[in-house]
């Protein structure tokens, strides 16, 4: 499974033709303010990424995520973790 699985699913839910699925996404976003639902967890996981604010805005507005930018951000985070574990400067 790729690093874009959850964002890809999110984008698919928004672009699909099921009104029920879109309502579920909107309900999850609304409930995320009160509990840790998957949209809230995704926003929290994006903290520290270069475009974290963009991703949070997309999630809260139920608009598609810029997957190419997200993949680059995630790869940069992964490389930073590996550099840190290897003792190299970030």
Give DSSP secondary structure letters for 42-89: HHHHTTTSTTHHHHHHHHHHT----HHHHHHHHHHHHHHHHHHHHT--
Domain span at residue 26 reads 5-86
Mean per-residue pLDDT, 1-20: 67
Q: Which residues contact 5 (CB under 8 A, 6 or more apart)?
A: none
Per the structure, the count of domains in the chain is 1
Residue 1 has pLDDT above 70, yes or no: no
Going by pLDDT thresholds of 50, 70 and 90, the confidence category of residue 28 is confident
- Give the integer Cα–Cα distance in Å for 16 and 83: 39
Residue whose C-alpha is closest to residue 49's, from 77, 71, 81: 77
Mean per-residue pLDDT, 38-63: 89
């Amino acid at each position: 499974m790729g690093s874009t699985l959850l964002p890809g699913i999110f984008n698919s839910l928004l672009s699909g033709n099921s009104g029920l699925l879109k309502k579920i996404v909107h309900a999850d976003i609304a409930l995320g303010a009160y509990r840790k639902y998957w949209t809230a967890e995704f926003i929290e996981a994006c903290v520290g990424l270069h475009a974290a604010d963009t991703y949070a805005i997309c999630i809260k507005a139920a608009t598609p995520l810029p997957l190419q930018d997200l993949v680059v951000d995630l790869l940069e985070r992964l490389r930073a973790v590996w550099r840190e574990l290897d003792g190299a400067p970030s």
